[in-house]
Amino acid sequence: MNRMNDGKASRISGAEAMVRMLQAHGVRHIFGLCGDTTLPFYDAMRALDHGMTHVLTRDERSAAYMADGYARISGRVGVCEGPSGGGATYILPGLIEANESSSAVLAITTDISVGSYGKYPLTEVDQAALMRPLTKFNTVMTRAEHIPRMVRAAFRAMTTGRPGSAHLGLPHDIQYDAVDATDIWADPALARYPAYPVAPGPGAAEAAVAAILSAERPLIVCGGGVVIAGAMDELARLAERLDIAVATSISGKGSLADTHPQSLGVVGSNGGTPETWEMMQEADLVVFMGIRAGSTTTSRWSAPLPGTRIVHLDSDPMVIGANYRTEVGVVGDLALALARINAVLDGMDALPGFGGAARVADIKRRKMAKFQEIAASNESPVKPERIIDTLNRLLADDAIVVSDPGTSCPYYNAYSQQKHPGRRYITNRAHGALGYALGAALGAWFARPEAKVVAMMGDGSFGFACGELETVVRWRAPITFLVFSNASFGWIRASQFADKDARYYNVDFNRTDQAKIAEGFGLRAWRVGDPGELEPAMRAALAHDGPSLIDIATQPLEDSAAPVMRWMG
């Protein structure tokens, strides 16, 4: 650290303090885009030996999505940064998605100088007001000496309790002001999340066990909280010893492997099917785990049915009882709560079995038979089922799949065959902004570079973010991009078909050769129009040692059998 020669405590600049505080919290990657207000911060990153990798992005939205993908896969805080004005507004979509998806993402937006507030300078915006409703922690610092304390507060907020996003505003002038170097310290426990997990209160696990054992047709429904907490092994032990079926939300995929005997799969309005929905309607007791029981998983709260008993486990007490009258609430970290429940069961003899595996096997057989029949079709354009089936057969077991919320999402939710538990699939279903997958996939690759990463998106989403392909090529990230091309904003077109008697309006655009665009950026690319071309192209793309893309002419959603409850009648 820089030291003064006047005999006083060593002093460093505010910009250097920010870099050192990130370093102290174990940050390894920063995703961001430069600007005038960022000059001192960038100069500090250039000059200091901090061991962090800065990834220059082409869009602040993508920087936030990269940080989100990185956080979800690594379990570490994802950090993004951008300049004042437009940079602060562009970074917002990623922050709100991360916050609502319980992903620990920190955004640092530099700002105009404190001394110019209220003088109508270029790029002035009230960043504190802008970010306040969208983040778990938010402040714009006005004194350099506040920087270390506010960084610690942001990391503490992001990583404890229910994880979420944070924002720090860093004005231009305080980046030059002095900070006491002795205040540069961090709690190492806050480098990962969830930090400081809390165990359930006395008697809560026992009450949950009593309720579950008194049921006849219990069903576990898991959200992303199970994977975030690393509770997969404890969940598997509970499901196997009582033979209870386990359904998941979209974010809960990976709570069990898709191939696990008790794993029912995704339920609800996006990726659920009539077959998996049967168990939601039949259950006399539902155990919600790490989930808000929101509109998608419950198909707008149409199940569990009225009168169904509810046990709810979550780290956030605010979600328990929010949507369903809850018989037993268990507040605590999911890994600790499930370990306690299993410990209670360890002390019991002659545990019952609820027949979950047999029921799941029957449902999966019927669901997958329909899927395989469609996936075998040689009709053009290519059916989405064929793309997912090909992925299931060719992907390595440790691969990571990232999906935009459009065409690819419900198909992968319903029919993927992930062979191991854990976070191997991510999508931005909290707010569903298009253009997510391209950036998030690069963040996922930085988090786990030894794994193959595949990103799926529609051609509408591709248009939102294709400029970021340059970033992917610059880093030679061997990501494979699959573009489901139907020359429309397909989800809305399918909704107009289903809800408005096919009265289409302003949802179609020109068909573009995404493969040529990708080649222009330096990717290896293929264009697939015939189903017979799909597997050879996918094998080559997955084996390529650099970035690759396949542009696939895909069946429009309105003509398909998409696993979306309101379209399936």
Read off the pLDDT of residues 200-223 as tens digits, 9 standing for 90 and up.
999 999 999 999 999 999 999 999
Neighbours of 104 (CB within 10 A): 33
CATH of 11-191, one of 1.10.760.10, 3.40.50.300, 3.40.50.970, 3.40.190.10: 3.40.50.970
Q: Do domains 11-191 and 204-358 have the same CATH topology?
A: yes
Domain boundaries, the chain: 11-191, 204-358, 376-567
Beta carbons of 16 and 67 less than 8 angstroms apart = no
**Non-local CB neighbours of 42 within 8 Å, separated by 6+ positions:** 34
What's the whole-model pTM score?
A: 0.96
**Non-local CB neighbours of 178 within 8 Å, separated by 6+ positions:** 11, 12, 13, 14, 144
Q: What kind and span of H or E run contains 313?
A: strand 309-314
Distances, alpha carbon 349 to alpha carbons 208, 344, 345, 352, 428, in Å:
17, 11, 8, 9, 43
For residue 200, what is the DSSP state?
A: P
Q: What's residue 5's pLDDT? A: 37
User: Distance (Å, rounded) from C-alpha 59 to C-alpha 562?
Assistant: 32
Neighbours of 501 (CB within 10 A): 7
For residue 52, what is the DSSP state?
A: P
Q: Looking only at Cα atoms, what is the longest distance across the chain?
A: 80
Beta carbons of 333 and 194 less than 8 angstroms apart = yes
Which residue in 46, 47, 1, 43 sits closest to 21, CA to CA? Answer: 1
Neighbours of 318 (CB within 10 A): 10
Which residue in 434, 538, 537 sits closest to 490, CA to CA? Answer: 434
Read off the pLDDT of residues 514-524 as tens digits, 9 standing for 90 and up.
999 999 999 99
pLDDT class of 484 with cuts at 50, 70, 90: very high
% of the chain with per-residue pLDDT over 90: 93
Residue 520: alpha-carbon gap to chain centroid:
29
Burial 202-216 (b: 16+ CB within 10 A, else e): eebbebbbebbeebe
pLDDT class of 1 with cuts at 50, 70, 90: very low
- Taken in order 115, 116, 119, 124, the sign of the CA dihedral is negative
**In the sheet that 328-331 helps form, which strands lie side by side, from edge to edge?**
263-266, 245-248, 218-222, 285-289, 309-314, 328-331
Region 292-315: mean pLDDT is 96
Distances, alpha carbon 250 to alpha carbons 24, 200, 285, 390, in Å:
34, 25, 21, 21
Q: What's residue 277's pLDDT? A: 96
pLDDT class of 569 with cuts at 50, 70, 90: low
Beta carbons of 563 and 489 less than 8 angstroms apart = no
- Could you give the 3-state DSSP secondary structure of residue 239? helix
Indicate the burial class of 458 (C-beta count within 10 angstroms; 0-12, 13-18, 19 or more). buried
**Non-local CB neighbours of 321 within 8 Å, separated by 6+ positions:** 312, 329
Q: What kind and span of H or E run contains 171?
A: strand 166-171
Encoded amino acid at 188, one letter: P
Top-tier CATH class for 204-358: alpha beta
Read off the pLDDT of residues 333-379 as tens digits, 9 standing for 90 and up.
999 999 999 999 999 999 999 999 999 999 999 999 999 999 999 99
Residue 418 has pLDDT above 90, yes or no: yes
CATH of 376-567, one of 3.40.50.300, 3.40.50.970, 2.60.120.10, 3.40.710.10: 3.40.50.970
User: Distance (Å, rounded) from C-alpha 464 to C-alpha 111?
Assistant: 26
% of the chain with per-residue pLDDT over 70: 98
Q: What kind and span of H or E run contains 54?
A: strand 53-56
Residue 245 has pLDDT above 90, yes or no: yes
User: Distance (Å, rounded) from C-alpha 386 to C-alpha 25?
Assistant: 44
Cis peptide upstream of residue 200 (ω within 30 degrees of 0) = no
Residue 539 has pLDDT above 70, yes or no: yes
Q: Is 348 left (phi over 0), alpha (psi -120 to 50) or beta?
A: beta
User: Distance (Å, rounded) from C-alpha 178 to C-alpha 187?
Assistant: 23
Residue 70 has pLDDT above 50, yes or no: yes
Indicate the burial class of 192 (C-beta count within 10 angstroms; 0-12, 13-18, 19 or more). middle
Strand 218-222 and strand 178-180: pairing?
unpaired
Read off the pLDDT of residues 24-40 as tens digits, 9 standing for 90 and up.
999 999 999 999 999 99
- Could you give the 3-state DSSP secondary structure of residue 419? coil
Q: How many helices (H) and strands (E) does the chain have?
A: 21, 20
pLDDT class of 429 with cuts at 50, 70, 90: confident
Beta carbons of 407 and 556 less than 8 angstroms apart = no
**Non-local CB neighbours of 241 within 8 Å, separated by 6+ positions:** 342, 345, 351
Q: What's residue 9's pLDDT? A: 61
Helices marked H in 273-355 — which ranges? 274-282, 334-346
pLDDT class of 3 with cuts at 50, 70, 90: very low
User: Distance (Å, rounded) from C-alpha 566 to C-alpha 569?
Assistant: 6
Encoded amino acid at 512, one letter: T
User: Distance (Å, rounded) from C-alpha 535 to C-alpha 518?
Assistant: 20
The first and second tokens of residue 211, run together, are 């309720």
